[in-house]
Amino acid sequence: MKNSKIIIKNLFSITEKQLDGKSIEITGTNGAGKTAIIDAIRYGLTNDSGRDYIVRNGESEGEILIETDTGLSINRKKRINKSDYKSVKENGREVPSPENFLSKLFTPLQLNPVEFTQMARQEQNRIILDLIEFPWNLNWIKEKFGEIPQDVDYDQNILQVLDEIQSEKGYYYKERQLINSALLHGRKTVTDIAESIPAGYQADKWEKFQTAPKYEELEKIKLENSRIERAKLFKESYDNKIRGYEAERDISIASEEKAIANERQGLTNTVERLKAEIVAAEDSLKTLDSKLNDKKALAQSKYNEQVAKLDGDIQIANQYTDKVPQDTAVLQDEIKTAEAMKLHLNEYRRMVAQQERNSEYEKESEEFTRKIELARELPAEILKTATIPVKGLTVKDGIPLINGLPISNLSEGEQLDLCVDVAISKPNALQIILIDGAEKLSDENRKRLYDKCKAKGLQFIATRTTNDDELTVTEL
């Protein structure tokens, strides 16, 4: 598609200018109005301008009309006091969604190839990647990743979008780092806890272990063992006590016998001295044996009572003396072990909870890795079906390569060749290149660009600053 007519009225500094489909170079000094023609054409195609004032000073309306050899007509009017006018017709019929339609007729490189050679590497890459045609939208992203990844500029080419998704500065990479850091810390926590509790620790066993019944059992055994020991000691002291009781009896009887003997002697003396009291004394004497027998009987009774009580105690002791005291060491060790194991329960539970969190961390990290890898793999799949505008264009790690070289590695001449190749890459595209500031190119590169445009059948409109005060339009 080539231009057949361009008419410009009252736009920028232009009063009226008409061009046909021929290539031209506009020369003149700064401020002579060279760029106004190119700016007017850009405005007609894009409805955009970098200038504050579009309508020529003193006029109320500016207009540009562009017609092609395929029946396309673009008529755009900028108005001061009323709404702007726009008409895009194809073979006399209005085109629906005209701005979207026009955007498909050209690439940014066609509108300023010289500016392209002076752009930063990132901007050059963005423009080239935008030329790769691949249908996608946010639903496509959601279908691939299960979500819309955060911190990504979705106004870019899909390859740049994918590059941002998998980038080390991207959300997935940063989140995976955080998860891996938490996982590393979590694993250390588990290791530290595991080292602090016994190997093969059986949490369920020690959590269910009841120490109270064991303590009760231990106390019963201790009480039984105490009775056995006391019974043995009691039995050992039995004979000694019997002998004590016998001695106590014998001493008591001896004491009584001595007392009676003394009394007997006294009474005998009394009998001798007191004849008058013989009868009475003899009567008393007759009762002394009975009295002694009573005392003996009382002492024997007390003895018998003590022995009977001791025999009763020994019978109880005999129930225990033949028993062997139980060894409580095993039960005490069991209780001691249980108490010690129970102290580890809280740490064990914390370790298990951390292990569960670690498992979730691993899954999250693996999912982030999967999505990062997916973002790295998708460009290759996309390029299999995408429309590649320029021969030799490939993409590696989100960076466009021309015959294996980054755009920034191409010479100025090679970058200009790229711009021309792009201009003719689209079928049914507008075959025009706007070259503003051709004086910025070396003479060799400028000639090379002009010659290539001619060879490819492209119309180009170039501006070049010279020292001439008058504006000159030269057909090339």
**Residue 7 in tokens:** 């008419």
What sign has the CA pseudo-torsion 418, 424, 427, 428?
positive
Report the distance separating Cα 438 and Cα 463, nearest Å.
Answer: 6
Q: Identify the residue whose tokens are 């959590």.
A: 207
- 3-state secondary structure (DSSP) of residue 367: helix
Predicted local confidence at residue 214, as pLDDT:
83
Strand order of the β-sheet with 72-79 is 14-19, 3-11, 61-68, 72-79, 85-90, 93-94
- Which residues, 6 or more positions from 475, have their beta carbon under 8 angstroms from its beta carbon? 22, 23, 24
Tokens read off for 404: 């294996």
d(CA 8, CA 454): 24
Q: What is the pLDDT along the chain (476 residues), one digit of tens a residue?
A: 888 899 999 999 889 989 888 888 989 888 778 888 889 999 999 888 888 889 999 899 999 999 999 899 999 999 998 999 999 999 989 999 888 888 888 887 888 888 888 888 888 787 777 777 788 899 999 999 999 999 999 888 888 888 889 989 999 999 999 999 999 999 999 999 888 988 888 888 888 888 888 888 888 888 888 888 888 887 778 777 888 878 888 888 888 888 888 888 877 777 677 676 667 667 777 788 888 888 888 888 888 888 888 888 888 778 877 788 888 888 888 889 888 888 888 888 988 999 999 999 999 999 999 999 998 888 888 888 877 777 788 887 778 888 888 888 888 888 888 888 877 777 678 888 888 888 888 888 888 888 888 888 888 889 899 888 888 888 88
Q: What is the pLDDT of residue 271?
A: 66
Where are the extended beta strands (E) located within 316-439?
Answer: 393-396, 399-402, 405-406, 432-435
SS percent in the chain: helix, strand, coil, step 5: 60, 15, 25
> Concatenated DSSP letters for 7-44?
EEEEETTEEEEEE-SS-EEEEESTTSSHHHHHHHHHHH
pLDDT at position 381: 85
What is the residue type of 340?
A
- Cα–Cα dist 74/4, whole Å: 12
Q: DSSP label at 81?
A: S
The model carries a pTM of 0.56
202: helix, strand or coil: coil
What are the φ and ψ backbone dihedral angles of 248, each rounded to 5 degrees? -60, -40
Kindly calculate the radius of gyration of the chain based on its CA atoms and give it in whole angstroms: 60
b/e map 133-156, b = 16+ CB within 10 Å: ebebeeeebeebbeeebeebeeeb
The answer for residues whose C-beta is within 8 angstroms of residue 161's C-beta and 6 or more apart is 141, 152, 153, 154
The fourth-level CATH superfamily of domain 3-133+412-475 is: P-loop containing nucleotide triphosphate hydrolases (3.40.50.300)
**Tokens at 104, concatenated:** 């498909």
356, 361, 364, 369 alpha-carbon torsion, rounded to 10°: -140
The residue written with tokens 């017709």 in the block is 89
Q: Helix (H, G, I), strand (E, B), or coil: what is residue 48? A: coil
Euclidean distance between CA atoms 96 and 124, whole angstroms? 31
Question: CA distances (Å), 175 to each of 168, 178, 181, 366, in order?
Answer: 10, 5, 10, 11
